[in-house]
Amino acid sequence: MGREAAKKKGKKKSKEASLEEVEKEWVEFKQFKEQELEQLKELTLVQQEKNKLMKEKTEAKKMKLYLQLSAEEHLDDQRKKLLEKLERELFGN
């Protein structure tokens, strides 16, 4: 084999090796991003559940306060306004 042919053969092998390395890195990168996406999905679900529980807890507190205020016979103006506000928020009237 001549000198020029040996050079071309060496370059071809190094290009193939580089291409294989790039493909390997690309596959690893894609796998990493897929795992990251799954983790973000799980985190989103956890956060949504947490938000739902906080909303339910807030609604329960509002309902408890509404029941306390509605049980009182004589309310001052501030408590009347609060009772009306709670009524609108809880029952949409």
Which sequence spans correspond to the domains of the chain? Answer: 3-91
Query: Between residues 19 and 93, which one has the greater pLDDT?
Result: 19
Q: What is the pLDDT of residues 2-45, one digit of tens each?
A: 556 555 555 566 777 788 889 999 999 999 999 999 999 999 99
Copy the structure tokens of residue 55. 């909303």
pLDDT at 93: 61
Q: Is the pTM of this model over 0.85?
A: no
The set of residues, in sequence order, having a beta carbon less than 8 Å from that of 83 and lying 6+ positions away, is: 66, 69, 70, 75
Buried/exposed 12-48: b ≥16 CB within 10 Å, e otherwise:
eeeeeeeeeeeeeeeeeeeeeeeeeeeeeeeeeeeee
